[in-house]
């Protein structure tokens, strides 16, 4: 009888630990990708300009709102919090966002976008299977496994940009990523390597692609408490980096 009680207690403890582990993973994931976002806009004042990407754009919607305020016109919007570049299970990927935009109205001239950040961030925050988080004892050296993974993302981004060119898109403004802070502040090397590859992708595609590097513009005060998403000041800075490239295209 004593053994049965001990066994039951052990099972209960294991189940409790598993439950709290699942809750923790869910909370981290929600914190990472953002669980709030604005709706898709399939018809706007200027349907030839669309936005694609993840929660950097979508969580608050302030980047797009600022750009639309400057332009005095609205743009079609397909950004989704939690979006990965291709695939993923939490949100419509950037690839799928583009396909949806094309199905709504294929007359697209200019795309303002980002993509690829969640492909690195979500695995890194949860289990880090690609070893993209650089620990202090690694002396700032990004693992070969993470570099190979980011290289695969580079291929995906080039393929998407080439598809856009084939579909008649004339201009792409591709916003890169800034450094995170707090509990996810050991991804600097991954951000550096990722932005380098995104810049290469823009330079090695047929479409007219402008890569915007925000690393020097965004500081810790421009990021909200989750360590990832832009505060109002950060969104304004990002919009102001984009606007000089977007304005001549309108």
Query: How many Å from the N-terminal Cα to the C-terminal Cα in the chain?
Result: 78
Instruction: Report all structural domains of the chain as residue ranges with CATH numbers, in order of start.
Output: 34-249 (3.40.50.1110)
Tell me the per-residue pLDDT of 77-125, one tens digit each, with 9 for 90 and over.
999 999 999 998 789 999 999 999 999 999 999 999 999 999 999 999 8
Tell me the average pLDDT across 13-30: 41
The rounded distance, in Å, linking the Cα atoms of 83 and 99 is: 14
Helix (H, G, I), strand (E, B) or coil at 211: strand
pTM: 0.86
The rounded distance, in Å, linking the Cα atoms of 27 and 64 is: 27
Residue 155 has pLDDT above 50, yes or no: yes
- What pLDDT band is residue 37 in, cutting at 50, 70 and 90? low
Q: How many separate helices (H) and strands (E) can be counted in the chain?
A: 8, 5
Strands (E), the chain: 46-52, 75-77, 110-113, 171-175, 208-212
- In this structure, are residues 90 and 82 in contact, taking their beta carbons and an 8 Å threshold? yes
Number of residues assigned to the chain = 250
The phi and psi torsions of 111 (rounded to 5 degrees) equal -120, 125
Q: ∠ at Cα 103 (102, 105), nearest 5°?
A: 65
Q: CB-based contacts of 153: which residues, under 8 Å, 6+ apart?
A: 85, 116, 119, 120, 194, 197
Tell me the per-residue pLDDT of 184-215, one tens digit each, with 9 for 90 and over.
889 999 999 999 999 999 999 999 999 999 99
Supply 96's token pair: 């799928």
- In this structure, are residues 81 and 54 in contact, taking their beta carbons and an 8 Å threshold? yes
């Amino acid at each position: 009888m004593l053994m049965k009680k001990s066994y039951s207690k052990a099972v209960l403890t294991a189940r409790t630990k598993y439950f709290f582990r699942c809750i923790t993973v869910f909370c981290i994931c929600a914190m990472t990708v953002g669980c709030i976002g604005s709706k898709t806009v399939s018809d706007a004042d200027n349907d030839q300009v669309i936005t694609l990407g993840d929660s950097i754009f979508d969580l608050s919607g302030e980047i797009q709102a600022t750009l639309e305020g400057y332009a005095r016109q609205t743009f079609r919007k397909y950004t989704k919090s939690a979006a990965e570049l291709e695939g993923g299970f939490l949100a419509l990927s950037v690839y799928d966002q583009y396909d949806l935009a094309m199905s709504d109205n294929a007359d697209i001239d200019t795309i303002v976008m980002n993509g690829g950040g969640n492909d690195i961030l979500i695995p890194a925050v949860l289990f880090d299977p690609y070893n993209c988080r650089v620990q202090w004892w690694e002396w700032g050296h990004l693992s070969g496994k993470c570099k190979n993974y980011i290289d695969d993302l580079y291929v995906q981004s080039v393929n998407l940009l080439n598809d856009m060119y084939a579909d008649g898109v004339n201009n792409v403004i591709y916003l890169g990523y800034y450094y995170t802070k707090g509990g996810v502040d050991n991804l600097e090397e991954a951000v550096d390597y990722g932005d380098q590859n995104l810049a290469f992708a823009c330079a090695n595609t047929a479409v007219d692609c402008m890569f915007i590097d925000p690393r020097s513009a965004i500081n810790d005060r421009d990021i909200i408490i989750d360590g990832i998403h832009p505060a109002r000041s950060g969104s304004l800075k990002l919009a102001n980096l984009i606007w000089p490239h977007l304005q001549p295209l309108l």
